[in-house]
Amino acid sequence: MSQNPLGAYARAQRVAATPRSTEYRLMSEITGEMIAARDAGLAGARLAPALHRNRQVWAAFRNLCADPANALPEELRAGIISLGLWVERHTSLVITGRDSIDELISVNRTVMGGLMNENGGAAPAPATAAIPG
């Protein structure tokens, strides 16, 4: 009996995936959704579906970093929590039409850059996380 090649591929991908590559892939998908919504001319509350997923992932990052058992350095965890809080506040401004989605896209792209090194592989964790504006 032959195995399903798609199932074998999925199993191999799960084994080869690192937390960083998974985070990168998730951020890439979400950022792509926000770019597509922006490029479609959506603004304000019409961006809510694209922004909702971004809010969810940043809330998850904040919660993971708030866990004392998290192995990341304390300074990095604090930076990610602060950045996640900024994302939450800025998202509210975007949904109410008081600011643009561009800064959220920029933050996600910066985080994605930190997750990847110049060879396209997972990069080591940065020492600090910068908080925009």
Share of the chain above pLDDT 70, in %: 75
Q: What is the mean pLDDT of residues 101-130?
A: 71
pLDDT at 116: 85
Q: What is the mean pLDDT of residues 98-123?
A: 83
In terms of Cα–Cα distance, which of 5, 97, 19, 13 is closest to 51? Answer: 97
Cα(86)–Cα(125) distance, rounded to whole angstroms? 20
Cα(118)–Cα(23) distance, rounded to whole angstroms? 17
Cα(5)–Cα(11) distance, rounded to whole angstroms? 10
- Token pair belonging to 97: 């039409």
81 with 60: CB under 8 angstroms? no
4-41 pLDDT per residue, tens: 666 655 555 555 678 888 999 999 999 999 999 999 99
DSSP annotation of 133:
-
Q: What is the mean pLDDT of residues 94-107?
A: 96
Cα(53)–Cα(7) distance, rounded to whole angstroms? 27
Residue type, 21: S
pTM of the complete model: 0.76
129 with 83: CB under 8 angstroms? yes
Cα(79)–Cα(15) distance, rounded to whole angstroms? 30
